[in-house]
Amino acid sequence: MWLAGRTALVTGAGRGIGAATAHRLASEGARVAVNDLDAALAQAVADAVVAEGGVAMACPADLLDVDAVDRLVSSLVDTWGVPDVVVNNAGTTRDRMFHRMDAETFAFGLDANLTTTVNVTRATAGVMRAAAKEEIARSGAPDHVRKIIFTSSVAALTGNPGQANYTAAKGALIALARTLAQELGPFAITVNVVAPGFVETRLTAANDDGSAGLGIPTAVRDSIRAMIALGRLGQPSDIAAVHAFLASSDSDFMSGVTLPVTGGQFGGMG
């Protein structure tokens, strides 16, 4: 098991990619703190992990509230110790063409996809760095490599009409990871990015009448599928598998890297 004895925090883990990641890390032996804004969703995922034989606890919090994030991390450290793995997965979309995108909608995209990650990373990197410093003072080197992972999007690499707020935030995560990889590297903390292509979630479900404000037209989904070399849409488990790899010791010499996970998707990214 890749992550036996490790502690992991997964944000935005109440559904979709985050939930799949929580299940996958637990199946690899990690104790998983399941974060989501929706406490009921976080608890449901934690309960499902435990039912499968894993170890998990729900840690609901509003990641835009710095004090709430600090309390979450403090509670996690008190319960299971300093996290070894942090998967920053929280995020969502609010699409609109740029010339019609008001300031509130643009700020929403930055907050949901960038500020949440900044807040969690600031809090967790601090305790991870402090633990590494203590280990260096005691034995000359950190006990093991700790991992911070960002979930960006391949749209940050290609651009995508109607998603100026989303792509700006997701692109910033890639730049942030490169800087933090350099700052945290001396403490054996890696920072890497997963950039999913088109993945089946509630944000990409078929929605032809625009109801609920989520989903996309079937015709758009079909056109994107036609651009994917492997001939299918991605599943949350496909991204969770790469999160698990980056969380494992097999990636200990990788940092500042962005891994597109697209199934060989070419053309517009949808």
Tokens of 227: 């651009």
CA–CA gap between residue 7 and residue 81 (Å, rounded): 8
Do 248 and 2 contact (CB within 8 A), yes or no?
Answer: yes
- Residue 166 known to be catalytic: yes
List, in sequence order, every beta strand (DSSP E) within 152-208: 189-196
Sheet order of strands, 7-10 included: 55-58, 31-34, 7-10, 85-88, 146-151, 189-196, 258-261
And the tokens for 122? 């600031």
In 3D, which of 193, 174, 183, 57 has the Cα closest to residue 132?
183
Catalytic residue chosen out of the listed positions 166, 187, 198, 245: 166
Structure-token match 């929403």, residue found:
108
Contact 69, 119 (CB under 8 A): yes
> In angstroms, how far is CA 106 from the centroid of its own chain?
20
Catalytic residues: 166
